[in-house]
Amino acid sequence: MSFCGVALSGFIGVTLGMVAGYFEGKLDDVIMRIVDIWMSIPPIILVLLFSAVLGPGLQTIILSIGLVFWTQYSRIIRGETLSIKQRDFVALAKVTGCGKRRILLKHIFPNLISTSMVLATLQLGGAVMLEAALSFLGLGIQPPESAWGLIISDGRIYMSTAWWIPTFAGLCIMITVLGANLFGDWLRDALDPKLRQV
């Protein structure tokens, strides 16, 4: 669920960020104002709203994660696109007659992949936490399917007799989120040419 949700948010965010950064002007202003408004709403409120409207389930969680995290992609990718489009190879592509779509897909997008990958790994931990929160509240995965948040929710009433049920589910969430964040930090360092030279 987290992988699919982060992939959906990445697709939306990278596309809108590239468009906003490359074309600038009014289109950029409109997209960035939408991003500002979207980021001003707490993510858990948006997720609860989507879950209440669409009902609990796997598709709802994936869609919710995708629609919550896309703004971070848009903001970062827009800044990267503004920087990349000023470089010489983009100017040469324009001189040779490449269209805007080809420049975006063949020249700018490949230079954004490393940034997008790092951001995706860092968001993976947040997506796991969001899914666990939804399942804990009963708006995510429903029985007989299982999820860590659902295990914690069901195990609360057994804390005095079977404390390990919610405890180990919580530890699994913690280890997964920590692993995703550490992997994101390592990937950022590995893909940064300045740090590689050091």
List pLDDT tens digits, range 121-158: 888 888 888 888 888 887 777 777 778 888 888 888 88
- Give residue for tokens 């190879």: 89
**pLDDT at residue 40 greater than cutoff 80:** yes
pTM of the predicted structure, to 2 decimals: 0.82
CATH topology for the 2-197 domain = MetI-like fold (1.10.3720)
b or e along 7-22 (b: 16 or more beta carbons within 10 Å of the residue's beta carbon)?
ebbbebbbbbbbbbbb
Identify the burial level of 6 via C-beta atoms within 10 angstroms of its C-beta, where 0-12 means exposed, 13-18 middle and 19 or more buried.
buried
Q: Where are the domains of the chain?
A: 2-197
Q: How far apart are CA 80 and CA 115, in angstroms?
A: 9
To the nearest 10°, report the CA torsion of 74, 76, 80, 81.
10
**pLDDT at residue 197 greater than cutoff 60:** no
Rg (CA), the chain: 20
**What is the structure's pLDDT at 196?**
55
* Main-chain dihedrals φ then ψ at residue 169, nearest 5 degrees: -65, -40
pLDDT in tens, 62-90: 888 888 889 988 999 998 898 888 888 88
- With a CB cutoff of 8 Å and minimum separation 6, the contacts of 17 are 73, 74, 75, 76, 77, 78, 80, 81
- Give residue for tokens 């104002």: 33
Mean pLDDT of 90-114: 85
Mean pLDDT of 96-101: 84
**pLDDT at residue 194 greater than cutoff 80:** no
Q: How far apart are CA 54 and CA 182, in angstroms?
A: 34
**pLDDT at residue 191 greater than cutoff 90:** no
